[in-house]
Amino acid sequence: MRRVLIKSKSCVVSVCLLSSMIHSTMVNANEIKNQNLSNPSGTTIHSNWHTVLLNSGGPYTINNAGTITVTQSSGINAQVETDVTNTGTVEVLYNSSNSGRGIQAYQATGTSSFTNSGIVKVTGSGWYNAAIMANDSNLSTIENKGSLVSTAYNRSNGISVYNGASVDKIINSGDITSTAVTNARGISIFTGSSVNEIQNTGTISSTGTDNTADILVETNSSLGALSNSQSNLTYRGKLPKNYNVIINGLTNFGKIHFTNPSDSLTFGVDPSSSNVSGIFEGVLSGISELQIDNTQGQYTQNSTLYGYLLTSDDGNSWNLHLKPFHEDTNCSLDSTINGCTKSNKDTATNVKTGMNNLSNVTDANFAHFATYDCDNFGKNGNCLSIGGRISSIENPDTETKSLVFVYGKKLSSNFRVASFLHNNRSQKTNSNFSLSDKTPLLGALLVWNKNPNGSGLRLKLGNSYQKKNLLSTRQQVGVSESAIGETILRAESIFGEVRYNKRISESFKLSPFIAMRTSNKTQQGYTETSVNNPLTYNTINIKADTLLIGTHINKSLSDTFAINTVLGLEYDTSYDASSIVPTGINGLTTVNLESDYEEKRPVIALGFDYDYDQEKKLIAKIQYNKLPYSGMSETTFYMNLQFAF
């Protein structure tokens, strides 16, 4: 075997040319120092100490397609800015207790980069071995597409970022293998060092009996982000600020186990993941909920927005639920969709509840025709009513407590007018639905009686108007988001009634009636807030023409006390409701608000009148009626005191 001492760059070129002609040329040298190097395949360069040493000048480029070996220390030692590309073999051959590095940046000036598509191998029985090391240096990239192998007694590292070093990105799509009795690490970041990002789509394997981890980050160091597709990755120490799982299929996805974790991380799904939905078990383990900054989020893949949710049965192992974002969002809008779990907290129910709440005051079935009136006049033809009202709506449950003021004025023996103000003092609703008055309910009546005593034919006309503030919360369903929206509800109605008051006996009176009501209820459009992907809703209008048929029954038990009953039926002769048309993400469905509308609704009321004297009357009534949307009903208790003056 020929031994050649290389002292110049031109000599290296000669060796390269010669080695290209002689397939198995071995070149022995003390070191190759401070020069670019292109070592072709089939050429071996060997030294006992630092085969390639770059400690002044530069920047340099090292391309190795052949073999670089060293007895001890480092195969390539860069102390100045150097770009290293290895497609061949770099190997430290020693078996002593000393440390070895395949490729290292040692207190290097400038910013270097190392790329390996071949083999970098360090074996020995010493300490602090590393296939690739950054020591007190700055590197833009360390990329491994091939094989990194490190074996030591203690502190074996595939890639070591050490002593205040900084690396922007570590990319591994190959194999990193580290073996030691203690402290075997595939990638280690320690002694005040930092890495912005690690991308692992290959395999990192560390074997040892103590303090072993595929990735180690000491508490005095930091890792910005880790993306991983490996299914058995182990991690020790300070958590990355961001961890992104890479999913390639239902059975091919990243799993990571943490040991002695400190700080916290933000979880995400890497955008490079495949378009796949499902439940991915054990994506995280060894970490508590307090150390996960988020348990849900979204990411976009091939123009499709996906949502994800982390769940845990034991607070230690976490499963990932992943599906297109619009699917569960549609369930949060309308839980009656096939595949959804029925709920009374979806957006459609919020809209229906708001509209029913408007119905209970502005339409109020028979309230405006009987309750919100004042017909006990004094010598000056005035009537004042002060009352309180409690209304409860079922499914979902809401409760409203209100004050009601009515003023009536007798204009002649046949005509009278009245106006009313209904002010809600409290409105108890579900946690996802809140109402408050923007304006009180206002209304006016005009009444004509054929006979001054109120018997016989009676005609009544009236209208009402109100605005309410609505705070609506869209519930989280699966991977969807919880969101808040504020808007305004408005209701208007005009009604007319024909009634005939017939006294059957001195103590019994029957008053059949027929009436028509035209109502228009509106929910203004709005955009959600406090959410990553806000939805925008259109303005919703609900218009109805309603026929009311029934009778009032009054029974006097004494000169001062009487009970009264109302039996009636509402029937919507026409009904038109806008659909909910949400926008903001692709794939949302339109919600039909007419699907469970009930056009026929009974009403029942029972009450009493107590005349204190000619100037005061106490009235109480309890009323039950079905509301327009199926499954919803209202019970109302109303009591008022009328003063005649």
pLDDT at 643: 96
The yes-or-no verdict on residue 11 having pLDDT over 50 is no
Q: Which run of H or of E encompasses 331?
A: helix 325-333
Q: Highest-confidence range of 171-175, 366-370, 460-464, 490-494, by mean pLDDT? A: 171-175
pTM: predicted TM-score of the whole model, two decimal places: 0.78
Provide the percentage of residues in the chain whose pLDDT is more than 70.
93
The yes-or-no verdict on residue 366 having pLDDT over 60 is no
Q: Which residues are CB-contacts of 592 (< 8 A; sequence separation ≥ 6)?
A: 579
The encoded tokens of residue 313 equal: 């049965």
Q: What is the mean pLDDT of residues 368-397?
A: 85
pLDDT bin (cut points 50, 70, 90) of residue 433 is: confident
Using only C-alpha atoms, the chain has a radius of gyration, in whole angstroms, of 41
pLDDT at 10: 36
Q: What is the mean pLDDT of residues 419-423?
A: 92
pLDDT bin (cut points 50, 70, 90) of residue 8 is: very low
The yes-or-no verdict on residue 599 having pLDDT over 60 is yes
pLDDT bin (cut points 50, 70, 90) of residue 27 is: low
**CA angle centred on 98, ends 95 and 101, rounded to 5°:** 90
pLDDT at 258: 98
> Among 368-382, 414-428, 523-537, whose mean pLDDT is lowest?
368-382
Q: How does the average pLDDT of the chain come out, rounded?
A: 90
At 69, the amino acid letter reads T
pLDDT at 246: 98
pLDDT at 626: 84
Per-residue pLDDT tens digits for 152-163: 999 999 999 999
The answer to whether 67 touches 41, Cβ cutoff 8 Å, is: no
CA dist 32 → 12, 111, 114, 470 (Å): 9, 21, 18, 78
Reported as half-sphere exposure (CB side, CA atoms, 13 A), residue 608 has a value of 10
Strands 52-54, 67-78: pairing is: parallel
Q: How far apart are CA 546 and CA 574, in angstroms?
A: 7
Q: What is the mean pLDDT of residues 526-555?
A: 94
Per-residue pLDDT tens digits for 510-527: 999 999 999 999 999 999
Q: What is the mean pLDDT of residues 613-642?
A: 88
pLDDT at 4: 33
pLDDT bin (cut points 50, 70, 90) of residue 530 is: confident
